[in-house]
């Protein structure tokens, strides 16, 4: 898969394109992207996806919103779905104020030999979201490409959406999250070196520091970790570690049978069961005792869990 920054991009080949954030890459996103890939093959064209980084809500809102999938994870999922080209557009306040027409001319018409444009049913762009499906249909007639609005995908009678997925994860309903994703919800990132407080307590952890907040409630989870081709059982804590303190929310995972240092390597943490909320303990000994109980509870759950 070709990954291109917008500033250096021009795609002379015929392209079938979709545009969006695709946070979560859930069932609805997957169906839309597969449609783009299939249409591109039918037209002997390239399948292309234009997306934004950082997530627009992280720029437009005063408080950073929980993000379901970071850029690395989204790109991995796009590639698995068969996308030929991903075009990355830096999202800024200035970009948010562009008119729909200016956005189309600068980012789409000036860079793609567009055969077909497919967007999600709820997609809009440009200043005040003025770039609606009706506006895009007008552009398609004017500039000679075909246009389609891809319908919503339902699960259990409700629309599959990023907001529905985010709510399921916040509530610890990882079964529903898995069904909305057709895969387990997970957090992907490089292992960073922390203050090693867990090691001092006898529970050395693998630490991820997400760039954006996660939709997880601050607390302790039974989890699995994928490292390359290997999978390990463990217990994860997401939060600010109120007993010892942390400057930013961190996802820490203690693996039951693991004694390697893997700083810088990428792992995938899969929370499977919420065990308890994060809380402050009166002493480190009390914290240590609780972690031991968390580990036992996690082992019992994971022994009977799948995925």
C-alpha neighbours within 13 Å on the C-beta side of residue 193: 3
Q: Which residues are known to be catalytic?
A: 252
DSSP string of 57-86, one letter each residue: HHHHSSSPPP-SS-HHHHHHHHHHTT-SEE
Predicted local confidence at residue 202, as pLDDT: 67
Predicted local confidence at residue 201, as pLDDT: 67
From first to last of its 307 residues, the chain has per-residue pLDDT tens of 888 877 655 656 799 999 999 999 999 999 999 999 999 999 999 999 999 988 877 777 767 789 999 999 999 999 999 999 999 998 888 888 889 888 888 888 878 889 999 999 999 888 888 888 999 999 999 999 999 999 999 999 999 999 999 999 999 999 999 999 999 999 999 999 876 666 666 688 999 999 889 999 999 999 999 999 999 999 999 998 766 666 689 999 999 988 888 999 999 999 999 999 998 887 888 888 999 999 999 999 999 876 5
Cα(131)–Cα(123) distance, rounded to whole angstroms? 8
Predicted local confidence at residue 12, as pLDDT: 67
Predicted local confidence at residue 3, as pLDDT: 83
- Asked if residues 128 and 134 have their Cβ atoms less than 8 Å apart, the reply is no
Cα(65)–Cα(163) distance, rounded to whole angstroms? 11
Predicted local confidence at residue 243, as pLDDT: 67
- Count how many residues are written for the chain: 307
Which residues face 3 on adjacent strands?
A: 86
The three-state secondary structure class of 146 is strand
Where do the domains of the chain lie, and which CATH numbers do they carry?
A: 2-159 (3.40.50.620), 186-303 (2.40.30.30)
- Asked if residues 223 and 253 have their Cβ atoms less than 8 Å apart, the reply is yes
Cα(187)–Cα(236) distance, rounded to whole angstroms? 11
Place of tokens 């942390």: 246
DSSP string of 235-257, one letter each residue: EEEEE--TTT--SS-EEEEEETT
């Amino acid at each position: 898969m070709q990954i291109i920054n917008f500033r250096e991009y021009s795609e002379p080949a015929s392209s079938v394109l979709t545009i969006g954030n695709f946070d979560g890459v859930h069932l609805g996103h997957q169906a839309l992207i597969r449609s783009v890939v299939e249409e591109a093959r039918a037209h002997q064209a390239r399948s292309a996806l234009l997306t934004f980084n950082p997530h627009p809500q992280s720029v437009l809102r005063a408080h950073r919103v929980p993000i379901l999938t970071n850029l690395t994870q989204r790109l991995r999922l796009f590639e698995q779905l068969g996308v030929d080209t991903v075009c990355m557009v830096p999202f800024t306040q200035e970009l948010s104020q562009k008119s729909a027409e200016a956005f189309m001319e600068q980012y789409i018409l000036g860079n793609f030999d567009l055969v077909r444009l497919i967007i999600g049913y709820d997609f809009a762009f440009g200043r005040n979201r003025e770039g609606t499906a009706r506006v895009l249909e007008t552009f398609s007639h004017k500039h000679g490409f075909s246009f389609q609005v891809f319908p919503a995908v339902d699960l259990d009678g409700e629309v599959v959406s990023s907001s529905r997925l985010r709510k399921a994860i916040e509530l610890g309903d990882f079964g529903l999250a898995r069904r909305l994703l057709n895969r387990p919800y997970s957090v992907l990132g490089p292992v960073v070196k922390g203050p090693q407080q867990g090691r001092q307590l006898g529970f050395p952890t693998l630490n991820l520091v997400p760039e954006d907040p996660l939709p997880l409630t601050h607390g302790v989870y039974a989890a699995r970790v994928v490292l390359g081709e290997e999978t390990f059982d463990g217990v994860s804590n997401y939060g600010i570690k109120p007993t010892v303190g942390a400057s930013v929310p961190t996802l820490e995972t203690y693996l039951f049978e693991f004694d390697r240092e893997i700083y810088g390597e990428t792992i995938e943490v899969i929370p499977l069961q919420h065990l308890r909320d994060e809380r402050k303990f009166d002493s480190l000994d009390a914290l240590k005792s609780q972690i031991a109980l968390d580990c036992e509870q996690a082992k019992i759950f994971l022994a009977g869990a799948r995925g």
